Amino acid sequence: MVDDSTRKTLSCIPLLKTKAGPREKDLWVQRLKEEYQALIQYVQNNKTADNDWFRLESNEQGTRWFGKCWYIHNLLKYEFDVEFDIPVTYPATAPEIALPELDGKTAKMYRGGKICLTDHFKPLWARNVPKFGIAHAMALGLGPWLAVEIPDLIEKGVIQYKEKSDV
């Protein structure tokens, strides 16, 4: 099951209303506004809780998203590029979040660095169409993935700490 902290995080992200994908020109703009509202709220929640862990932005059409996520381990910050496309069947299907620089470094990924989600993700997403959006996918998908995989990858020496100017 989804753990309590994820559940609590999820409950603080506003739900979305508009059921529209990128093929529906006008409604998609409305949906995109809701996506941004929910994301802004979620990032603000994270900052308040001293658990700020990602930034995202999109192209003008809101069909391609990119940004950074990071994970603090033993007081060191490990940062990764995040990217994903909004599938034409969104929001019936969730976006497939990818960390391209980790592609090939862990078995918990599909080709192209798409993260391998838990068995709970898809049923939960399906039950919450169209209320869940990108913010929920981050909280329910990428957040728990980083928490499990990054410490493991660091321990195995697969990823090393890199000095970053913006830390």
Partner 1 sequence: MSVEGLKAKIKQLEEELAVQKSINAQNAPAREKIAQMSSEVVDSNPYSRLMALKRMGIVDNYERIRELSVAVVGVGGVGSVTAEMLTRCGIGKLVLFDYDKVELANMNRLFFQPHQAGLSKVAAAAYTLRDINPDVEIETHNYNITTIENFNHFMERIQKGSLSGGPVDLVLSCVDNFEARMAINTACNELNQIWFESGVAENAVSGHIQLIIPGETACFACAPPLVVASNIDEKTLKREGVCAASLPTTMGIVAGFLVQNTLKFLLKFGQTTHYLGYSALTDFFPTMQLKPNPACDDSFCLERQKEFAAKPKPEVVEVSPVVEEVVHEDNEWGISLVDETPADAVEVTQSKPVGLAHGVDVAYELPAAESGSSGPTVQDTDISLEQLMAQMKKI
Residue 116 among the catalytic residues: yes
Q: In this complex, which beta carbon is closest to partner 1, that of residue 8 or of residue 164?
A: 8
Count CB atoms within 10 A of the CB of residue 135.
27
- Cα distance between residue 68 and residue 17, in whole Å: 27
118's CB contacts (< 8 A; 6+ apart) are 144
The footprint of partner 1 on residues 127-166 (CB under 8 A) is 127-129, 131-132
Minimum CB–partner distance for residue 128 and partner 1 (Å): 4
From 70-78, 85-93, 157-165, give the range in contact with partner 1 by CB under 8 A.
Answer: 85-93
List 29, 40, 72, 116, catalytic entry: 116
Q: Which is nearer to partner 1, 87 or 151 (CB)?
A: 87
CA distance 154 to 167: 18
Q: Which of 159, 146, 153 is nearest to 53 (CA)?
A: 146
Binding test (CB under 8 A) with partner 1, winner from 9, 20, 53, 56: 56
Q: Report how far residue 10's alpha carbon sits from residue 132's, in angstroms, rounded to the nearest whole number.
A: 9
DSSP character for 104? T
Pairing of strands 64-73, 76-85: antiparallel
Nearest to 58 by CA among 45, 44, 39, 41: 39
Near partner 1 by CB under 8 A: residue from 9, 16, 98, 146: 16
**Which range of residues in 17-25, 73-81, 153-161 is near partner 1 by CB under 8 A?**
17-25
Given 66, 73, 87, 100, the residue binding partner 1 (CB under 8 A): 87
Residues that bind partner 1 (CB under 8 A): 10-12, 14-17, 22-23, 29, 32-34, 36-41, 43-44, 47, 55-58, 61-63, 85-89, 92-94, 96, 107-111, 116, 118-119, 122-123, 126-129, 131-132
Catalytically active residues, by annotation: 116
